[in-house]
Chains A and B, each alone.
Chain A
């Protein structure tokens, strides 16, 4: 019975199902969440760790794929001096974690939307955008382009899957932009993302194009400014920024 006092966004106890490496310092953690009712691609959860003395630390993590029943995935980048990520990247199956969600109806992609979609990721900003691509595999008809900025080839999340998706799906093109060290046979010298990296061949900023940008705040501000200078309407750009705390 809804007595009006029940929390709208309750904390739930999730159980770790497994943890698999994406890179040397990032892991995808699968969680079983009793009563999980599904979510939209792009949404996130809040996750809470509480110490024995009652001190607690909270972080937001994007969901990296559509829900599989009551199972959800997050990908966590380990920040060496962080409070939460070093613990999360070390969790083992069976351990319990408190979380709440799904959260956020703004930075989401719905399969019914017909638009052309440009995804722009900075580092671990790929996570919610990967959820959108994985959702598109299941349903939808939108065309996707992904521009993914990473330091080096070793920092690419979901590398194999992105490679095979690009090979097998005519609705997707992926461009990886290396900022520190490029992959062999890459013509572009390493460097921060530029206007040219954000231009999609044969796509113009008008005509129902929607852009999703996710990454550290500095990356998002820089990419968004460049997109607007190229004629993209601010109202067609949706952004999600994250900070350095891990």
Chain B
């Protein structure tokens, strides 16, 4: 029997990341530190049925970003991406 995939995509993590970072993350372009794949945040694989959010590269499954929220603060690990390119909002 085929198992249903457990991930969703970057759209589902946008609220949590945007709350902390202050910009719309879905249109940001990330370069994976694992395989150098370039892709938008919205198309990344997101695992969020855990005490935290894990964002993975859809190409190689490398962890691009992690976000864990506690009652008092948010901890963010962004080292899995070599770079983020963020478009200015449409004016």
Interface residue ranges, A against B (CB under 8 Å) = 7-9, 44, 46, 60, 100-101, 103-107, 216-218, 221, 238-245
Contact = CB atoms under 8 A, between A and B. Distances in A.
Nearest to A238: B42
Given A106-B11, A221-B5, A243-B6, A100 B26 contact: no
B11 A44 contact: yes
Given A105-B26, A218-B4, A241-B9, A46 B15 contact: yes
Interface residues of B, number: 26
B4 A216 contact: yes
Contacts, number: 73
Interface of B: 2, 4-12, 14-16, 18-19, 22-24, 26-27, 40-43, 49, 89
B20 to A, nearest CB: 9
A105 B11 contact: no
A7 B19 contact: yes
B15 A242 contact: no
Contacts of A245: 49
Contacts of B10: 106
Complex A-B, nearest 3 residue pairs according to Cβ-Cβ distance, in ascending order: A106-B42, A106-B26, A46-B15
